[in-house]
Amino acid sequence: EVQLVESGGGLVQPGGSLRLSCATSGFTFRDRYMDWVRQAPGKGLEWVGRTRNKARSYTTEYAASVKGRFIISRDDSKNSLYLQMNSLKTEDTAVYYCAREGGYCSDISCYTYFDYWGQGALVTVSS
Amino acid sequence: DIQMTQSPSTLSASVGDRVTITCRASQSISSWLAWYQQKPGKAPKLLIYKASSLESGVPSRFSGSGSGTEFTLTISSLQPDDFATYYCQQYNSVWTFGQGTKVEIK
């Protein structure tokens, strides 16, 4: 059974930092591209960023709203995904989900969706 | 970024009703569209990918159609477990989601 379990959420002041973790099991983590998606209270879903696998040099991509402040990393030996959030703003308040990509990738392009999600971790940025 | 617009925002329906939700893309996304179901306090759950492919384990009363810029999610006979919020998502380029459609009890 595929499982993704986030941890590390909490209350942080504006300008502060927080690190989320996502522990996974039930699939070959090292082969997969993994993502973070967030949802502000009462709002819709927003993609945050992605990490590719070792075959693609662990390259990352980020949404414009978090680029330069958030860093996604992974530890394949621990089957875990991380989100380091720096210079946090009140508008970063959200439930953060880790998600596994499913779908199709070639050397040229990727067409992937999110086939498994964690239960989410609430991050509240407030003074 | 590609904008995704869902309609309606809220839908009131009864058990047994046929329900249709529409999703429009601001530019062509071929068939690179997914649908998700989300219940309060829970993570989204994948229902449909590539516009019309049913995810394993999802009941056959759910179906998707469309290509290009216009897509629909249909629930053929609404069940009590289906009252939730539904999101479309394009994956032709950087992922973007629709704003959601809440299906509530009439």
Question: Are the C-beta atoms of A100 and A2 separated by less than 8 Å?
Answer: yes
Nearest residue to B50 via CA among B13, B5, B91: B91
Question: What pLDDT shows up at residue A107?
Answer: 77
- Chain B residue numbers with beta carbons less than 8 Å from the beta carbon of A61 are 94
Tell me the residues of chain A between 19 and 58 that have a Cβ less than 8 Å away from chain B.
Answer: 44-47
Q: Do B94 and A63 touch (CB under 8 A)?
A: yes
- Chain B residue numbers with beta carbons less than 8 Å from the beta carbon of A63 are 94
Digit-by-digit pLDDT tens for chain B (106 residues) are 999 999 999 999 999 999 999 999 999 999 999 999 999 999 999 999 999 999 999 999 999 999 999 999 999 999 999 999 999 999 999 999 999 999 998 8
C-alpha torsion A90→A85→B43→A93, nearest 10: -10
